[in-house]
Structure 1
Amino acid sequence: MNDLWVALGLVLALEGTLYALAPGAAKNFVRQILDLPDNVLRTGGLAALAIGVAIVWLVRG
């Protein structure tokens, strides 16, 4: 369970860094995402999921 909290903390730290360093770029990125079709977002989400699972699998063995 500790690993889950650590992972959540890392996600929040990385996202917070993005918004703190480049808030304008983050807003533009969100605007661009809103214009994408659902299937593109779904494909990107599935790709991110697969990469994330692969990284955890490789690191944790």
Structure 2
Amino acid sequence: MSDFLTGLAFFLIIEGLVYALAPRFLVEMAKVLPSIPEQRLRYFGLGAVAAGVALVWLIRG
């Protein structure tokens, strides 16, 4: 449970940094996202999940 909470805390830190350091970029991305095909977003999301799992596996392995 401690690892999960640490991961959640890191997620919040990174998310907060994006809002704090690049709010204009975030707004522009929000405008562009509806024009990106759903399938491409899904593949990008699955790729990000796979990269995250691989990274955790390498760090913990």
Shorter-chain TM band: over 0.9
Q: Sequence identity, in percent?
A: 43
Alpha-carbon distance in 1 for matches of 2:57, 2:34: 32
Shift of 1:30: 1.5
What pairs with 1:41-52 in structure 2 (closer than 5 Å)?
41-52=41-52
Q: 1: distance between equivalents of 2:35 and 2:12?
A: 25
- After TM superposition, the score normalised by the length of structure 1 is 0.94
Q: Which runs of 5+ in 1 are unaligned?
A: none
Amino acid at match of 1:37: P
What do the CA deviations read for 1:21-55 (whole angstroms, capped 9, x no partner)? 11111110121112111100000001001000000
The corresponding residue for 2:58 is 58
The normalised TM-score by structure 2 is 0.94
**How far apart, in 1, do the equivalents of 2:33 and 2:12 lie?**
20
**Which residue in 1 is equivalent to 2:5?**
5
- Between the aligned partners of 2:9 and 2:30, the Cα distance in structure 1 is 22
State the match for 1:30 in structure 2: 30
Which consecutive residues of structure 2, in runs of 5 or more, have no partner in the other structure? Answer: none
